[in-house]
Amino acid sequence: MDKFVLIGLIGVILVVCVTIYSRFAQNLRNRARSRTERREQFGEEYDRFKDGHNNPYIPDFLEMHPGRSLGLICAIVIFLIIGSSSLVVVPAGHRGVLLTMGKVEDRILGEGLSFKMPFMQSVELVSVQIQKVESTEAAASQDLQDVTTTVVVNYRLRPEAVNTIYQALRKDYSDRVIKPNIEESLKAATAQYTAEELITKRAMMKSTFGDILDDRLEVFDIEVVAVSLTNFQFSKAFSDAIEAKVTAEQEALKAKNVLVQIQYEAQQKVIQAEAERNATIISADAEAQRKVIEAQAEAQRIQMEANATAEAIMVITEQMTPEYARYLWLTQWNGVLPSTFLGSAEDLGIIIDTTP
């Protein structure tokens, strides 16, 4: 349809040009006739720039041959139109799908300048850059909790297959293929995890969703570059239950920490008591050992004194004579005579009563 519109537009332009130029050509003929007459009258020295009736900027060929000039101008215009319709520029990040009278060709135009058949062929530009689609879908988790997930998918068309993509989907691949498959893939991935795992195993959920979506879109020659899970929304009841569970876990952890602290302090006291007991035992053992050593030393001293005394007695006994005994008695006498002397007459010699 675009080709027929272009051909009709070119026809209208040519008709307008011919109409305008026909009137202009008649004026040129009149001027050429008057100019020829003036040249015959004034000769070759006629200065056309001083003639107010002739336009000095119109070439002589146009004035002399208006019909040929019209054909030449029309040929130039047609050539320019055909030449411009034969060229196509494919911008960066795009590929050109070549159509011949509406039929998709196998040839794909790359970036830059390319050629096509004028009026017979047209080019549809298809982007092969990374594109983004965002979708918010409702799904159910493995434990039948309602989850609303917002996902962002980055994708691109395979450059070598843009002609088949255009043939099958035109340029509506986002609405016709990508968004429906995002919804189905998200539901399939969400059903494999519980609501709690969707939070604690977010990376695994993201990987599962990306793999499922990539397998689905590969059939349509669409490549999934990256996926992002930007938000999870649960029902109010489930959110309250999660909050209560987290609060209970925090309280339990707090109590556990207190218990651990008490156990630690008790263990410290036990260690301290054992250390004090060991110190007391060591101190008592040391004191007892000291006393034993002192007792042994005292016993040895007494034994040595006794041995010395016994040896002295033995020596004294062996050396004792009556005269030495009297000498010892006299050395120890205090000068007071006894009141009674006991002994034989031979030993004492006389009995004297010293009582007053």
Are both 6 and 111 inside the same structural domain? yes
Contact criterion met (CB below 8 Å) for 104 and 163: yes
> Is there a domain that residue 289 lies in?
yes
pLDDT tens-digit series, residues 53-101: 444 445 555 555 566 666 777 777 777 777 777 888 899 999 999 998 8
Q: Do 86 and 145 reside in the same domain of the chain?
A: no
Give 251's contacts (C-beta < 8 A, 6+ positions apart): none
Q: What is the number of structural domains in the chain? A: 3
- What's the whole-number average pLDDT of the chain? 77
**Residues 100, 6 share a domain:** yes
- Let me know whether 7 and 115 are in one domain: yes
Query: Are 221 and 158 in contact, with CB atoms under 8 Å apart?
Result: yes
* pLDDT at residue 6, rounded to an integer: 57
Classify residue 213 by burial, with Cβ atoms within 10 Å: 0-12, 13-18, 19+. Answer: buried
pLDDT over 80 at 255, yes or no: no
The last residue of one of the domains, among 125, 145, 166, is 125
257 shares a domain with 213? no
C-beta of residue 88 within 8 angstroms of C-beta of residue 115: yes
Euclidean distance between CA atoms 104 and 119, whole angstroms = 15
7 and 116 housed in the same domain: yes
Report DSSP letters for 181-248, one per residue.
Answer: HHHHHHHHHHTTS-HHHHHHTHHHHHHHHHHHHHHHHHTTTEEEEEEEEEEEEE-HHHHHHHHHHHHH
Locate 203 and state its tokens: 């990376």
Residue whose C-alpha is closest to residue 190's, from 143, 129, 256, 235: 143
Q: Are residues 101 and 165 in the same domain?
A: no
- Whether 185 and 157 map to the same domain: the answer is yes
pLDDT tens per residue, range 330-350:
777 776 666 655 555 555 544
Q: What is the pLDDT of residues 154-205, one digit of tens each?
A: 999 999 999 999 999 988 999 999 999 999 999 999 889 988 788 888 889 8
Domain that holds residue 21: 2-125
pLDDT of residue 308: 76
Tokens 């031979």 belong to which residue? 346
Flag whether the pTM goes above 0.75. no
State whether 94 and 34 are in the same domain.
yes
Domain-located, residue 332:
no
Task: For residues 6 and 113, state if they share a domain.
Answer: yes
Strand partners, 55: none
Task: Pick 131 or 242 by higher pLDDT.
Answer: 131
